Structures are given as structure tokens and as C-alpha cells.
Structure 1
Amino acid sequence: MASVLKRDNTFENIPSIKAKTLRINLNPDIYGTFAEIGAGQETARHFFRSGGASGTIAKAMSAYDKDFSDAIYGIETDGRYVTQSRLKKMLSHEMTLMEERISRETHPDRLFFSYANTVATIDFSKRYKGHGWVGIRFQLDPTQKELDEIILHIRFKQNEARLQQETLGILGVNLIYGAFYKYHKPKKMLKYLYDHIDKDTVEIDMVNFSGPNFKDVDNRLMSLQLIRNDMTDAVMFGPDGNNFLPAAALYKKNILALRGSFRPVTKVNMDMFHKSYDIFIRDPAVNQESTMVIFEITLSNLKASGEIDEQDFMDRAELLCALGHNVMISKFQEYYKLVEYFNRYTKAKIGLTMGVNNLVDIFDEKYYRIYREAFWKPLVSCSSKTFRSTSTP
């Protein structure tokens, strides 16, 4: 056990990685497969090292070769391998094999699981830090037909592939342990994913829970936890209430963003949106089909009346989703930081819809004083190309 000092100056005992793997290995019912692509077999390694793995690991594999991977899991339509689609195919394939090959008559109490990750670690030139998809499909009752599933996306921040592999291994152990022993506390389980991991080493920017034991979990609320716990800078969810990866949704898109508290969504909000959208798509450089509209709420907006009220957040989210909009929750109080974030994923047009007061605030020097030397010239250049304002009457 390791003792960690919490914010309230109390200590919390956190099981070591070995203690977690050993507890799972010594549970006679937990039994599953490990399929890891792109960063070694780091998660399975922890289970092998702790001892007693023969009672837990049915199979551990790594289909590194693309042709082998395609032969096992099928070919992706986009030709990529580090995708949510690939991860889901891995989880489904491995769980199907478990159910086909392990007799329920011989092992009536076995709790099956399949753990998988598909990852790209840092490239040789160190330009791209790397990212990956990690997930587990599992059952908590041997008679359970519908399976539970947790899927998350991570971004590495370390500058060595070896360190990224080690981080991934620990994260995988925390996920498997949380799935079986902390599933009833999903918000706390998210925090436990960082047990023995520094938040400066990896970012979790998307998570989705599904299955019978998570039927009461709203994934939009889980997105909010990622922001509150400093696990990421921005999260997104769609009209269906499911979280999606900002990088994938924003890639090469024209983006029109409307920032507000939306408490509630007013006629002024919608009038600003409709008018700004009409102006935005009239730009010859904007393709309407590749344009994404985002209703953005900052963390500071959610905290405007004190601590975040989760029910208040859900009321806003429900209303925006019911109106058919994509929603972003971000930590970007300054507009230029929001633009920088969008520019990570697209070089297309970016529009920001705002009222006069917000437009005036953009040019307030106090927001840029400490960044003047580093950011002022790029910001002026950027604003002439990407900022588009629609003021209220």
C-alpha cells in the first residue's frame, strides 16, 4: 500500500500495482484475455510478474504486424489501426473466443473479461507524442448475457517510448482493477485510473461507460469529471449524450463555436447562432458539409455561482442535446486558448460567435500581458483569419 496526501491534508492508502494484480490473480473467478498492440504487452506483464497469473490469463497476445492484425480483427475502412473501431473489434473478437473456448459447464462461476489497447507511442522525430485507445469488456455475474464495457482515449505527454509503455501498463492495471472492484463508484474509478501515475504524463480526453451495471451512468457527467479532475482540457459529447473524441470530431473541420452559460438556452443565443451560421457558411472557403457547430461551456461558467452543481450541468446538457447540438466543456477562459486548441486539429476556418461585451474583452490587454512576447503577433495574425464575431443588437 502507498499513502498519498490528499487536498484536505488527510492520507489515503492506495494499493500498489502488485497488490492490485495479485488480488485479481488470486480471485479464482476472474479470467480473461489481453490483446495489446503498439506499446508492448505492458499490462499483461504486471499480471505475470505478480504471480498466480495462470488462474487469470487465458491468453496474452500482441498482433503487431498489420497483416496479422487485419487477418484477426478485420480491415478498417479508413485503413487506420489506432481507432475506437479497432479497439471495439479487438474486445468483441477476444470475448467471443473466450465464450466459445471456455466451457460454462466446467467453469460455471468464471467472470470473463477481455482487455485491449491499440496505441501509437511517440514517433522517432518526437513531433507527435502518441495516443491510444484502451478498453475492457467484462461481466460481474457469470449468468450476465449483456456485457459491461469501459472505453477511454489517452494522449501521452512523455518524450520516451519506454516511459509511455510503462505508463500504459499501470493505467491498464488500474482499469481492470477498477472494473471489477470499483465499478459501483464510476466517478471515483476515474480518479483511480491515475493511481501511481503523474497527471503530467498522460491525458484522458474521452471515456464511455456502457452495460447493465452502468445503466444509471450518464457519460456526459463522466466527461465533466475528466475536466474537474484535471485529466484533460476539453471534452465533447453529441446530441445522443455519448462522449466522442474531440480530435476525431474536429479533424480538418470548419468550426463555428458559440460560447455561453446556456442557463437556459435563450432566444438571443439561438438568434446569434442562426445569424452567425448564415454568415459563416457564406464564406467561399467554408464547405457546409465539413462544418461543425459547437456550443461551448467553460468550467468557469459552470462555477459562476460557486461549486459546480451537477444537476444544473445536466439540465443544460439535456437541453442542448435535445436541440440537436454538439457540446464542448473546456477549461479555456481566454478565447485565444480555445482557438489554439482548435488549431491542433484543423487548419480550416474557425468562427467564434460572441456578443459585443465579449468582443471588447478580447482586446483587453490584461489577458495577454504575460504572453505578449510569445503570443501577441501570432494572435493578431490568427484573429484576422479566423475570428468572426456576431454582436447582439
Structure 2
Amino acid sequence: MKKFADDLVLDGDRHIEQQQAISDKALRINLNKNIYGSFAEIGAGQETVRHFFRAGGSSRTIAKAMSAYDKSFSDAIYTVEDDKRYVTESRLIKMLSYETKLIEERISRNENPNRTFFSYANTVATIDFAKQFKGHGWVGIKFQTTPGEEYSEIVLHIQFKETDSKLQQETLGILGVNLIYGAFYQHHDPKKLINSLYDHLDKDQLEIDSINFSGPAFQGVDNRLMSLYLVKNGMTEAVMFGPNGLSLLPATTIYRKNVLALRGSFRPVTLVNTNMYKRSLNSFLEENNLTEDKTLVLFEITLSNLLHEGVLDEEDFLHRAELLCSLGHTVMISNFKEYYRMVEYLSQFTKEKIALTIGVSSLLNIFDEKYYTKLNGGILEALGKLFYKDLKIYLYPMKNEEGEIINSNNLKVALHIKDLYKYFKKAGKIVDIDYDEENLSILSREVLKQIQQREDGWEKMLPEGVASIIKNKELFGYKEKQKI
């Protein structure tokens, strides 16, 4: 009983310290006479702005605080979304743009020559009454770092993990203060800013699964690298970005889509990767009578694949991302070492068809028990989760050292797993896809070695245009070798 009482006291002390620390941040902003802006919060009360009101001196900072909670009022102010939804990125962008325009119109620049304006907004849905949907939201800020300059912007998406609406509201308020504080005092270091979003918060309270930086304060910032940083630091397990390099929200991008996922190192992208992608996509569409507009192709790279001797090579990651984006692909970076975890993740957002395109060595890993020692059901549990909901694997063959082409028919798995493998093979869960035999000898690691040593002939092993990008942008060590 005494321990329980002591724990309550300790939790109370931590809460007081947390509130004081957040109040200190809000007060520092309030005392800065050059920071002035508006707050627009929808869906969870005015949880961020109340910290600024309580900190003192808020009249120096707050031009306006509002919550257009009623949908009709919200639509009248920000217009109606095409999809009739309210907790969306497009709604947040409209809120930020509208409030920024309003403050520029109503606050005289002549009378406030030294002020930097900002607009903070969030649109969220907290946990529902039945506690089946934990809630999520979009949070953002549009701000200036010097008076009169173009606005910079930070937009992020959050997933609530707590199971109490009041706690979620408090978490949102703290996050909002951290974001505003970071925008004005940490914009010069986006990684530090991202870390600071969790100041006085735990990762079991909140997940950040998408973030984009834009504007003059973030010139030179690559949002693909910022997305990677979220996964690296355990803020989310997977992120996505499109051909334009901007972060995508997985839940929205995958929603109601058929998904074909290809995992690889893509270091660099070769004709083998292109062949795997095109042949498996054709089979996926034809066998299931699907259309490309309802199908999403994901090029997935695991975090472990990006680690070199335990260290994340950011430059190497950006080189891979540059090539995949240049080919028009959508990329996912994940912390899923096992394939079944990736399939479970994708299944959260779509009930449509899911398929994987992999090589022979990856299929051998799937049927290797050593990867599932942490599961109570071992390999049986893993395969049950992997092939859940009619998942299919499209297998691309390999040529061994003897020149023999290995596919699903002559693949050798461990003897005690053989019958299990045959079961999935016979059930049509593992299907061989067409291939170009002349490409089977292409290995990414050998191509990379040739690029770095500037040997002849590597260009013809890559998709059209990729070699030029590598040379022009001096990717994968091409520049370093050229200087020798």
C-alpha cells in the first residue's frame, strides 16, 4: 500500500515538472515581443493555446485563438473538402493558409515592422466512445524567421496511442507547444527539432508517422531523410515518400489499394529490379483482374538494410532514394525485418489484395526457423500471419555458381520444413514469374563495385537514364573515384 502511495506521489511530481517545463517554453515565446500569431484548433479543444494563456504575457503572442468545432462553421470558414472529411492534410493546409492570410490582412506591417508572424493549427479526432479507434490528427505551423520573409511550414501527422480522450488532449497540447517552440528556436537543426517534439512525452503516448518541412527556413532539407529519421528514432515503424520526395501518410496512400511490395537494397537499382517489378506487376494485375490506378507498387527498404556496421549511412540512403524517385516509384522505409510484420502493417490500411515480389534468397529466409524464435508459435505462426488473407509471393529466380537456374520447383529448403513449403507451393501461394536470363547474372553489389572503381560496362546493367543520374550527381562514390 505504501509503494502504491509513493508511486502516486512520484507520478504527481513528474506531472508538475512536465507542466512547468512546458509552461517555461510557452513563456519564452510569450516574452519574445517579435513572435505574434494565431491558433486554430479543431477536434480536441484548444489544448495548445491554453498553455500560452496560462504561462503569462500571452497578449504579446496571441492575435487570435479559435476552435471552429461545429462542422458547418468549419466549412463556412475553410470551405468543404472534396471527400467531406475534416481530419485531413488538405484541411490543415487550408487552415494554415487562411489564418496566415488573415493575420497579414489585419495586422499592420507598418505598425509591427519587427514582428514575425505565425499560424498554428491542428485538426484531430481523439479516441471514440467504444475505444475501437484510438484517433489521429494533423498538426502544423506556418511561420516566419525574419519579418516580412516568405513563410516556412512544418506539417506532421500523429497517431494517438493512449486510450483516454483527456490524456490525448493533454498530449496534443504538449506536442503543439513543442512544435511552435521548435519552429522558432530550433529550425536551423530539423533533426533536433524532430527530437524535441517528444520533449516531456513518451513514445507510447504518440506516434509521428509523417513530417514535411518547406520554405526558406528549410532550404536544403531533404524530407526523405527526415522521414528516415522518424523510423531510425523509433517514432514510427514505417514511413513512405513519393517520387517528389515528400512524405506520404501510409494510411491514406495504402487505403483501399491493392499492394505489390518489393523489398531490396536498390544499391543501385538494376535491370533485375526493373524486371522483377514489371513482370510481377503484370501477373498481379492479370491474375486478379486489377487495374493499375487501384494498385500501389511499393519499393521497400528495411532500416537494417541501411545500416553499415551499425551506423546509418544517410548519404547512401539518399542516393538510393534519388534513383527510385527518379524512376517514379513510391518508397517505404520500415523497421520490419520479417516479411510477416510488413504484411500485418499493410493489412491495417487495406482489405484488398496484397502480394510480395522477392528473390530466391529472400524466400529461403522466410522458411528459415531462426528468424522466428521470439514467436510462441515459431515458423508456423509467422507463415500463418504472412499468408493471411490470400497473400501471394511472386518469385524471381536466381542462377547459382554452377549456372543452374533456381526457382520454386527446385529450391532446396531444410528437410523438416520441406512438407510445409510444398503445402504453400501447391496452394498457389508461391508463383514463379517470367525473367530475362541474361539479367540473372547482374548483382547489385558487383555493379556498385564497378561504379566505385570506374570499370567499364556497368551502365548497361541499369535501367535507362539511371547511369546518367549516377554520373551527373556523383552517387555511390563515383565522384571520389573520379578524383584519383
Shorter-chain-normalised TM-score: which range? over 0.9
What do residues 258-287 of structure 1 show as CA deviations (whole Å, max 9, x unaligned)? 101111112211111111111111123533
Please say if residues 369 and 379 of structure 2, whose CA atoms lie closer than 8 Å, have aligned partners that are also in contact. Answer: no
2:109 is equivalent to residue 104 of structure 1: yes
User: After the TM superposition, which of the residue ranges 113-122 and 302-311 deviates more from structure 2?
Assistant: 302-311
Letter in 2 for 1:317: A
Please say if residues 272 and 392 of structure 1, whose CA atoms lie closer than 8 Å, have aligned partners that are also in contact.
no
Q: Quote how far apart the aligned CAs of 1:110 are.
A: 1.3
Q: d(CA) in 2 for partners of 1:379 and 1:345?
A: 20
TM-score, with structure 1 as normaliser: 0.93
Residue 211 of structure 2 contacts residue 223 of structure 2 at CA under 8 Å; is this kept in 1?
yes
Give, in angstroms, the shift of residue 254 of structure 1: 0.4
Matched, 1:252 2:256: yes
SS of the residue corresponding to residue 374 of structure 2 reads helix
Instruction: Please give the residue correspondences for 1:368-383 in structure 2 after superposition, counting only pairs within 5 Å.
Output: 368-373=372-377, 376=380, 379-380=383-384, 383=387
Displacement, 1:365? 2.1
Instruction: Tell me the CA shift for residue 366 of structure 1.
Output: 2.6
Moved more, 233-242 or 375-384: 375-384
- Bigger relative contact order (CA 8 A; separation at least 6): 1
Partner of 2:303: 299
For residue 171 of structure 1, the aligned residue among 175, 200, 216 is: 175
Q: Does residue 1:91 correspond to 2:96, yes or no?
A: yes
Checking the alignment, whether the CA contact within 8 Å between 1:236 and 1:244 is kept in structure 2 is yes
SS of the equivalent of 2:287 reads coil
* Secondary structure of 1:47 counterpart: helix
* Distance in 2 (alpha carbons) for counterparts of 1:373 and 1:50: 53
Match in the other structure for 1:10? none
- Give the distance between the partners of 1:303 and 1:297, measured in 2 at CA: 11
Partner residue, 2:283 = 279
- Distance in 2 (alpha carbons) for counterparts of 1:270 and 1:98: 50
**Alignment partner for residue 48 of structure 1, among 45, 50, 53?**
53
Name the aligned partner's letter for residue 62 of structure 1.
S
Cα deviation, residue 288, structure 1: 2.4
Q: Which amino acid aligns with 1:352?
A: L
Deviations 1:84-131 (A, max 9, x none): 000000001111110111111111111110000000000111111100
Q: Which residue of 2 aligns with 1:153?
A: 157
- SS for the counterpart of 2:288 is coil
d(CA) in 1 for partners of 2:205, 2:379:
25
Q: Is the contact made by 2:141 and 2:153 (CA closer than 8 Å) also made in structure 1?
A: yes
Shift of 1:341: 0.2
Q: What SS is found at the alignment partner of 1:390?
A: strand
Q: Secondary structure at the match of 1:370?
A: coil
Residues 223-238 of structure 1: matches in 2 within 5 Å? 223-238=227-242
1:185, distance to aligned residue in structure 2 (A):
0.5
Matches within 5 A, 1:51-130: 51-130=56-135
Residue 370 of structure 1: CA displacement? 3.2
Query: What is aligned with 1:324?
Result: 328
What are the Cα deviations for residues 281-317 of structure 1, in whole angstroms up to 9, with x where unaligned?
Answer: 1123533220000100000000144311111011000
Q: How many residues end up aligned between the 2 structures?
A: 379
1:369 Cα offset (Å): 3.7
Q: State the AA in 2 paired with 1:210.
A: S
Moved over 6 A (4+): none
Greater shift in the superposed pair: 60-69 or 273-282 = 273-282
Q: Distance in 2 between matches of 1:370 and 1:181?
A: 43
Say whether the 8 Å CA contact 1:286–1:349 is kept in structure 2: no
Contact 2:154–2:214 (CA under 8 A) maintained in structure 1 = yes
Offset of residue 367 of structure 1: 2.5
SS state at 1:108 partner: coil
Pairwise CA RMSD of aligned residues? Answer: 1.6
Determine the C-alpha separation between the residues in 2 that align with 1:193 and 1:254. Answer: 34
Find the counterpart in structure 1 of residue 31 from structure 2.
Answer: 26
The aligned counterpart of 1:290 is: 294
- Give the conservation status (yes or no) of the 8 Å contact 1:359–1:389: no
Contact 1:296 1:329 in 2 (8 A): yes
Q: Aligned partners of 2:145 and 2:120: how far apart in 1?
A: 15
Aligned counterparts of 2:131 and 2:361: Cα–Cα separation in 1: 42
1:190-223 C-alpha deviation (Å, 9 max, x unpaired) = 0000000011100000000000111110100100
Q: Name the CA shift for 1:374/1:366 in 2 (closer, same or farther; >3 Å).
A: closer
Q: Which residue of 2 aligns with 1:198?
A: 202
* Aligned-residue offset at 1:380: 2.7
Q: Paired residue for 2:40?
A: 35
Unaligned runs of 5+ in 1: 1-14
**Cα distance in 1 for residues equivalent to 2:60 and 2:385:** 61
Q: Contact 2:209–2:249 at 8 Å: present in 1 too?
A: yes
User: Could you tell me how far 1:143 is from its partner in structure 2?
Assistant: 2.2
1:162 is the counterpart of 2:166: yes
Show the counterpart of 1:5: none
Q: 1:356 aligns with which of 354, 360, 376?
A: 360
* Alpha-carbon distance between aligned partners in 1 of 2:395 and 2:58, rounded to the nearest angstrom: 61
User: Could you tell me how far apart the structure 2 residues matched to 1:197 and 1:285 are?
Assistant: 47
Runs of at least 5 residues in structure 2 that lack an aligned partner in the other structure: 1-19, 399-484
- Residue in structure 2 matched with residue 134 of structure 1 by the alignment: 139
Letter of the aligned partner of 2:78 in structure 1?
Answer: Y
Kept after mapping to 2: 8 A contact 1:275/1:390: no
* Partner Cα separation in structure 2 for residue 365 and residue 378 of structure 1: 9
